[in-house]
Structures are given as structure tokens and as C-alpha cells.
Amino acid sequence: MKQLALVLSLGGASLWLAPTVAAQTTDSTSTKPQLNTGLPTAPARNQPTPAPVYQPEGVPAEATPRAENVPAAPPQVQQAPTVPRRFFLYSNFGLGFSSNPYYGSQFNASIAPAIGYRVTERLALGPGISYAYNRISPPRGVQGQGFSTNSFGVKGFMQFIVFQEFFLHGEYEVTRAEALYQDNTGRVFVGKTTVNTPLLGAGYRQQFGDRAAGDITLLYNFNDGINDIYGQPVVRFSFLFDLK
């Protein structure tokens, strides 16, 4: 009986102490709410969906260039229209030969530098000077020696480009020339005279660079008389150089 009473008394004491111990124990399953102390942030925006990349059939993805890897095209620079140079040096060398049964044969070599001016891209003109050397031989069957003459003059020329490298060329030359004369006794001698020589023909131009070119010109001599200082026809080789 004493043992049973002791057990009952211990059990009652344990029931009396249980609420007190439970009250002093912190519940680990419950968490105290925390306040947000961080800085406010902007709401997230909707990001655009990237466009799908077209992948050709049968081509691996590594071989397809991506837009960000393609170099940008260089900007187009608009070039100002080029203005042709107005002034140029025009120097020519001429050769001519003619034969006449009454007056004999004539060989001619000439040089004529000039300054040209381009009125337009196709039309040019200018003044110049000239020098001509002539070797005149007597007709076949006539006894006598040949004669040499030297002539100096001034001239004006004009050129017109017809198509690309082909052009028309004209000149008018006034020359203080040495010409052949014959007196009443039949003696032939060299005398001074003024000779007017119109020339007209066509030529071809070969460009050698940005400022230089070469011409070959075939001209018809409209003064084919006794005092002519050029042969027929007149072939000239010219050099052109742009000054500015």
C-alpha cells in the first residue's frame, strides 16, 4: 500500500509540472515574420522575344553566320564630280612626202608646240608656233641639185572629240617660208614668202596616265601649190600633257 501511494503521488506531480515546462519551451516550428528593409526595385519589364534564326537545311549551325558577327558595310562616300583640266601642252612632230613630175619630190619634217584650252570636255583650241624643214629634189630626168628650206610660222588649232579616243583636228598656219623661185634665165633659187596652210583631218588618242596622252593624226593639206611647205598627206605624232 505504501508503494502504490508513492507511485500515485509521483504521477500527479509530473502532471502538475508538465504545463509549466511546456510554457517555457520555444516552439521551433513557428517563425516570427520579418520586415523588408531593402530598397524598392522597379518591376521587371517584359523582354522582347528574339526572332527565330533561319537555319538552312543541311548546313550545320556553326557554319551559319550570326547577325552580330557579320561586319557592317562601309559607308558610301559620294565623290565630287571631276572637273577636266583646262590648259594643256600640245606638241607635235610632223612628217610629209609628196612627188610631182613637174616640180620634183618634197620631204618635210616639222615641229609645232602649242598651248591648248578645253572649252568643254570635247572641244579644245589654242595657239602655237611652228618650224618646218623641207628637202626638195628636182624632177626625175632633170639635172640639178636639191634644195633645203627652213620656215617659221604661227598657227591656231582646234580639236573635237567625236567618240571616245577618236577626234577631228583642224589647223590654220601662216608661215614665213623659204620657197623655190625661177628667174627668166631658168635659174632656180630660194626666196622668202608668206604661205597660208589650212590642214584638216582626224586622229586617234592613246592615254598614258591621268595627265598625259599621245596622238597620231592624218591631215589633208589644202595648200598643195608651188609654195607648199608640207607634203601630202601630213602625218603628225603629238604629245599632250595637262598643265592644271
- 18 in helix, strand or coil? helix
Residue 237 pLDDT > 50, yes or no?
yes
Q: What is the mean pLDDT of residues 145-173?
A: 91
> What is the per-residue pLDDT across 170-217, written as a single tens digit (0 to 9) for each?
999 999 988 777 777 777 777 888 889 899 999 999 999 888 999 999
Q: Are 190 and 210 in contact (CB under 8 A)?
A: no
Higher pLDDT, 23 or 157: 157
pLDDT value at 162 more than 60? yes
Does 158 have pLDDT greater than 90? yes
**Whole-number Å distance between alpha carbons of 112 and 94:** 8
75-92: pLDDT as tens digits: 665 654 455 678 999 988
Q: Does domain 87-242 have CATH number 1.20.1280?
A: no
* Size (the chain), residues: 244
Q: What mean pLDDT value characterizes the chain?
A: 75
Torsion of CA 197, 151, 224, 201, to 10 degrees: -50
| pTM value > 0.85 | no
